[in-house]
Structure 1
Amino acid sequence: MSNRKWIVAAAMALLLNVPARDCFAQQPVKGAEDRQYWSELLFRIAWPIAKSISNGTLHQDLPLETAPGYYLNLKAVTYGEAVGRTLAGIAPWLALPDDASKESALRQQLREALLKGLPNLVNPQHPDHLNFETEMQPLVDAAFLAQAFLRAPAALWEPLDSLTKKRYVAAFQSLRNRNAYYSNWLLFAGITEAFLLNTGENFDPARIDIAIRKMKEWYVGDGLYSDGEKFAMDYYNSFVIQPMLVDILKVLSEKKILTTTADYDLARKRMVRYAVLQEKMISPEGTYPITGRSITYRTGAFQALAQTALEHQLPEITTPAQVRCALTAVMKKLFEAPGTFSSAGWLQIGLAGHQPELGDPYISTGSLYLATVGFLPLGLPASDPFWTTPAAAWSSQKAFSGQAIEKDHKIDY
C-alpha cells in the first residue's frame, strides 16, 4: 500500500473509531472541531444519495434493505424517502454562502450534485423518476422535499429551470387525490400546500387549515402534542409535528393568511419547551430513551432541538454550547457504532449499528435518511455562538456530577 493510501486509510479508521469526547475532558473539544466533525459526518451520510442523484443512478444504487414484516410497495416509495429526507436535513447547511474553507467545498460538492440530479427526479422519461402518482407514502416525502425547498429556496429551488419547477409543482398538486391520515400526516399535506402558497402557485387552503386546527386540538400540554387523538410516547413531536407546524405557520404569518402571528409565536414557544425537554433526555454518555416508533431515524429524533438552535430560540437555561456538546455525543454513540454504515457507505437499519429488528414494518433504507434533520444547526455560520462558545456540560452531565442545575418547570401555554 502506498504511503498516501495508508494515510487516508488511517484517517478513516480514526474517524470511525475515535472514542466519544465529552465536555468533562481535561481539554474540552472546541466548537470548530465539533463543527468539522458534524460537517464531515453529514457529508458522509448525504453523499451517496447526492452522488447517485447526480449520476442518474439512484434506483440502481440505493440498497433495498427492509425491516421485518415490511408492507409497503418498496420500489414505489423508498427512493422518494431517501431524497426528501436527505434534503430536509442538509438544506440549511447548503444555504450558507461559499467560501475558501474545506467545509464549503463539501457543501458545494453536495449542492452541485443535487442541482444536477433534481430535474431527473420529476422527468417521466428518466430512470430516476420519483413516484408521486400512486401510494400514500409520497405524501410524506413530498412534504420533506417541500420543507427542504422552504428551508433553502436560494440554494435548492430558485436555481432549478422553469420546466423542472413546473413539474415539481404539478407533482405536489397531484397528491390532492389522497387524503392524509388523521395524525401527523395532516402536516405532510399542509406543508406541501404551504410551499405552493409561498412560491405563488395554486394551493389548497383547506389542507393547510385542517392540519393547523387538528394540531391545536391535539396539544396536550407542557410543549407536547398528541399524534392523533391518543398520545404516544415516541419522537414524532420531533420527527414531524413541531418542526412542520412551525414551518407552516411561519409561511402563513409572513403571507398574513389563514392564521395569525400569535399562532406562530405560540407554536414556537411550545417547541422551545419541547427542545428544553429534549436536551434533558440526553444522558451524560450521549444516549437517550429508545422509546416508540421509528427509533431507526437516529438523530432525526432531535430535529426539534436542532431547529430551535438553528432559529436562535434556545432559552437561557439551555445554552447553545451545551446543546452542541450533547448532540455531538449523541452522534458519536449512533454513527460510530460498527454496522451503522454498510461497506459501501449507506445507512443500515438500526440505532447504534446494524439492528434490523428495531425497524418498524414501514422502514426501508430510504427511510433512514431522516437522520439528517438532527444536523440543522450546521445552517448557522461558523462564527455563530453555537459554534464559538466554549464547550459546556449539558443538563444530565451537570445533574449527575453534583453540579448546580436549574430546576425544571412545566409551561401552562
Structure 2
Amino acid sequence: MSHSREQWVGTADALLGAAWRYGSPDQAFLDLPGRPSRSGVRSDGLEGYARTFLAAAFRTAHGEDPHNWLERYAAGLAAGTAGEWPAIFDVGQPMVESASVALGLRLTKPWLWDKLPEAVQDRAEAWLREALRHVPAANNWYFFPYTVASFLEAAGRGDDETRRAQDRAMELLEGWYVGDGWYSDGDGRAFDHYNGWALHLYPALDAHLNGRPITTHLREHLKSFHLLFGADGAPLYFGRSLTYRFAAASAVALGAVTGETPLSPGHSRHLIGKTLQYFLDRGSLSDGLLSLGWHGPHEAGLQPYSGPASPYWASKAFVCLLAGPDHPLWTAREESPDEDQTLALPGPGFLIRRHNGVTRLHNHGSDHVRPFEGEYATEDDPLYSRFAYSTTSGPTSKHNVADNHISLVVRGDRSVRRRIHPLGAADNWAASWHRPVFDANQPMVPGLRIESVTAVWGDQELRIHRVIGAPPGTRAELTGWATDLPSPLVGVRGWTGEESRTAPQGTAFTTTTKVPVLTADVEGTVTLAAVSVLDGTVAEADWDARVDEILLLTLDDPDRDTTARPGGA
C-alpha cells in the first residue's frame, strides 16, 4: 500500500471533526469524554483545544482551510484568554498546553494571529507569557516556555525575557546529550520517545521555521531511531506517554521536512505512513476519537497525568504536512527499509536488533530514576526498568510478574531494577550493572549487585547475569517475554528450575499472558545464562561456549573501564 499526503490530510480532518463535536459553546474548550486527569476538567478541556489546534495548524499551514478550522480556534482563543482558561503555574498542565497554542499560532500566523483584534493579541500574549515566568518540570518541559518565546519573537513581541527562556532550554539540552543522537529527558538517564516528539522536535522545528541550521543532532538521532519501528509500523513499546501513539513518527517526518535526516524521502514516507495506518487499523479510534491506550483502551499503560485529550499529542506527527504536495516526501518512490540490522548505542546504553520485521531493544542504560531519588528508589517502573522491549509486545503491569527481568528473592522480598549503570555496548552486545533494590522492609543488601550482558544473533538472545555478593538463602529468578507468541526461555548455565506464571492484566498487546520463568538458588558470586527468543525456537548451538566468549568481550575483559563501579571491582 502506498501512503500519500491526502491520507494524512484526510485523517487530520476526520480527527478534528470528531473532536469538535465536544467543543464548548464559546469554543475555548474541547471536553472530550473519558476519565478526567489529575489536573481537573478545565485543564482537560484546554488540553483538548490546544492539542487539536496543533493538528489543525499543521493541516492549514499552507493556507488551505476548507473546513474553516481556524475560525473555531480564533474564537476559542478570544474566549479562553478572556478568563476562561486556567492560569499557567509552576509545573502545571496549562504550561504544557501553552506550547501547543503558541506553536499553532506561529504556524498559522498569516491566517489567524494577524487577523485578531489587538486586544485579543494582547490578552493572548499575557496568558502565554506566564509560561516564561513559572517553573517547568526539570525535563523536556523547558521547551514549552521555549516554544512560547519562539512564537512571541516571531510575532514581533520578543524581548530579554523571551530570549532567556530560549537560551535556558538550549543550555539544558546540551547538558543532557549523551551521544549517538540521544538526549536524556532531564538529569539522569531517561531515554524514550520524548527524544523524538519533544527534545528534537521543538528546537529543530523552531530552527527550520527561522531558516537557521538545526543543531540538535536530529540526523544522528534518526540513524538509530528509525529502527525502533516494526515492519508493520508499530513503534517500540517503551517509555511513558505511549498513548500519543503515532506521534512517535514525528521526528522522522520532521527530518524529511527539513532535510536533516539520513533517510531517503521514500523511506521516511513509508515509515510514517505505516505508523499512522498501524493505529488506524487496530482500534485506536472509538467513535472517531483517540482513546487512552495503545491499540484500544489500555488502563495499565497510562500515567496519572493522562486525560481524555492526552492522546491528541499524536497531532505532532502531522508535522509531515509542512511538506507541500510537491515535496520529495510525497513525490519520491516509497521504499521499504532493510529488515535485518543490529546497532549498539553506548551513549544511551541500547542494543537494537531488527529482524524479520520486528524490533527488539535491549536496555542497558535507560532507567528514568530521578537524581534526587538516589540509588535505592524502590518502585518498579515497567516502562523503563526491563531488560528488553519490542514492537510486538509490551511490558507487564507493575502489579503482575515482571517480564524480561532478573530479580533476587532475599528473606521473602523480591528485588527490582532501578538505577542502571552502563558498562558498554558494541557490535552485537550491551552490558550494565545494577544494585538489586528491595522494599522498605529490606532497603539494601551490602555488596550485592548484578552485572548483565545481552548478546544477539538473529532472533536469538543470550542473557548473562553475574550475581555478586548474594547472601545465603537467595533465590534468583529470570523472566522472558510477555506475549502470546511462542517465546521460549532456556537455561544455559546455572539455572535449575523452570516454570510459567500468569500476568492477568496482560499487556497493551494481549488481555492476559504467561511469562516464562527460570529459577536457581545462589550464594556469593554466581554466573547465570539463558537463551531467549521472542517468536520462534532456540537454535542448536554451543551456547555454553558463547557465554565464555561474550564474557571475555565484556565482564571479563581485563582492559575494560571499571572505575564506574564500587571499589573498581
Q: What amino acid is the match of 1:45?
A: L
Cα deviation 1:15-45 (Å, max 9, x = unaligned):
xxxxxx4xxxxxxx2x5xx222222112122
Query: Which one scores higher on RCO, CA 8 angstroms, separation ≥ 6?
Result: 1
Offset, 1:56: 2.6
Confirm whether residue 361 of structure 1 aligns to residue 304 of structure 2.
yes
Q: What amino acid is the match of 1:121?
A: G
Map 1:251-330; keep pairs closer than 5 Å: 264-267=213-216, 270-315=217-262, 318-330=263-275
The answer to whether the Cα contact below 8 Å between 1:323 and 1:394 also exists between their aligned partners in 2 is no
Confirm whether residue 73 of structure 1 aligns to residue 31 of structure 2.
no
Confirm whether residue 137 of structure 1 aligns to residue 54 of structure 2.
no
The answer to whether the Cα contact below 8 Å between 2:140 and 2:185 also exists between their aligned partners in 1 is yes
Structure 1 residues 58, 84: closer, same or farther in 2, change over 3 A? closer
Q: How far apart, in 2, do the equivalents of 1:303 and 1:376 lie?
A: 7
Q: How far apart, in 2, do the equivalents of 1:57 and 1:202 lie?
A: 28
Structure 1 residues 272, 89: closer, same or farther in 2, change over 3 A? farther
Cα deviation 1:256-303 (Å, max 9, x = unaligned):
xxxxx6xx4422xx1122233332222112112100010111111222
Q: Which residue of 2 aligns with 1:172?
A: 128
Corresponding residue pairs, total: 344
CA RMSD, 1 decimal: 2.8
Structure 1 residues 113, 276: closer, same or farther in 2, change over 3 A? farther
Structure 2 counterpart SS, 1:365: coil
Offset, 1:117: 3.2
The answer to whether the Cα contact below 8 Å between 1:279 and 1:395 also exists between their aligned partners in 2 is no
Q: How far apart, in 2, do the equivalents of 1:381 and 1:49 lie?
A: 25
Offset, 1:144: 1.8
Confirm whether residue 182 of structure 1 aligns to residue 127 of structure 2.
no
Q: How far apart, in 2, do the equivalents of 1:130 and 1:47 lie?
A: 22
Q: What amino acid is the match of 1:114?
A: Y
The match for 1:208 among 163, 166, 184 is: 166
Offset, 1:390: 2.3
Offset, 1:115: 3.1
Offset, 1:84: 2.1
The answer to whether the Cα contact below 8 Å between 1:322 and 1:394 also exists between their aligned partners in 2 is yes
Q: Which residue of 2 aligns with 1:117?
A: 76
Offset, 1:366: 1.7
Offset, 1:202: 5.0
The answer to whether the Cα contact below 8 Å between 1:80 and 1:130 also exists between their aligned partners in 2 is yes
Offset, 1:57: 5.3
The answer to whether the Cα contact below 8 Å between 1:286 and 1:329 also exists between their aligned partners in 2 is yes
The match for 2:104 among 148, 151, 159 is: 148
Q: What amino acid is the match of 1:378?
A: L
Superposition TM-score, scaled by structure 1 size: 0.75
The answer to whether the Cα contact below 8 Å between 1:303 and 1:374 also exists between their aligned partners in 2 is yes
Q: What amino acid is the match of 1:320?
A: P
Moved over 6 A (4+): none
Confirm whether residue 333 of structure 1 aligns to residue 278 of structure 2.
yes
The answer to whether the Cα contact below 8 Å between 1:243 and 1:307 also exists between their aligned partners in 2 is yes
Offset, 1:177: 4.2
| Structure with more strand by fraction | 2
Q: How far apart, in 2, do the equivalents of 1:376 and 1:385 lie?
A: 15
Structure 1 counterpart SS, 2:286: coil
The match for 1:62 among 32, 35, 39 is: 32
Structure 1 residues 397, 376: closer, same or farther in 2, change over 3 A? farther
Offset, 1:53: 4.5
Map 1:355-394; keep pairs closer than 5 Å: 355-394=298-337
Confirm whether residue 245 of structure 1 aligns to residue 211 of structure 2.
no
Structure 1 residues 276, 50: closer, same or farther in 2, change over 3 A? farther
Offset, 1:372: 1.0
Map 1:336-351; keep pairs closer than 5 Å: 336-338=281-283, 340-343=284-287, 345-351=288-294
The match for 1:86 among 52, 70, 73 is: 52
Q: What amino acid is the match of 2:16?
A: A
Q: How far apart, in 1, do the equivalents of 2:75 and 2:24 lie?
A: 5
Superposition TM-score, scaled by structure 2 size: 0.56
Offset, 1:90: 3.5
Identity in percent: 22
Structure 1 residues 276, 89: closer, same or farther in 2, change over 3 A? farther
Structure 2 counterpart SS, 1:324: helix
Offset, 1:370: 0.4
